[in-house]
Structure 1
């Protein structure tokens, strides 16, 4: 995880593996979250989809006690703050629906799925992959 002291660098690949790549840095006590949603003025990652809330989910820093304590230092987490739900699939795992407003550890390489609840006319869900460090 490159970056300044205490920084957690994450790379987000929007859509499929060849999608747009975005890099972010989170720092304890400074920038501790990245917002995901439909509202351009409130979201760091803007996703235009009918089922995505203005602020849908947040990528957040967890302390070692909340995340993977074996790794030490801050860990990456995700929190669903939406109406239609957020899911994720850790590498090699099954899709899990997040509990609303609960911080959940997010392993590197996880696929994030928004929204989980989709009306038939709204189309498909939107997915992106979150990697710790640069890809």
Structure 2
């Protein structure tokens, strides 16, 4: 665990695993951050570009929480300007199969109910087959 931010989940007793899971990965941004880190290490600015509407403050907060909860690694390079990279921990990688299932569910939902996804069908099909 990170020494920078203490995980808040240890301060609470949970009545069920789903509540604990949602405290760790719930919210608007955490799953999307984990999704973008699934295959690669990214710098803060690269993550920010991929997430679009997220503020710098919110991205920083979410990354700190994911780091404190043991899902994300943060590597700081001693240079000017500072370079910081984020990647999934080994334990963070264990959630990727679940994220693939959620992603596929969203694709199927969009097709069933006519919701527009901005990703090309070829890419969606590759993700469904876990080729990406």
TM-score interval (norm. to shorter): under 0.3
User: Which structure: larger Rg?
Assistant: 2
Kindly indicate which of the two structures has a greater share of residues assigned to helix: 2
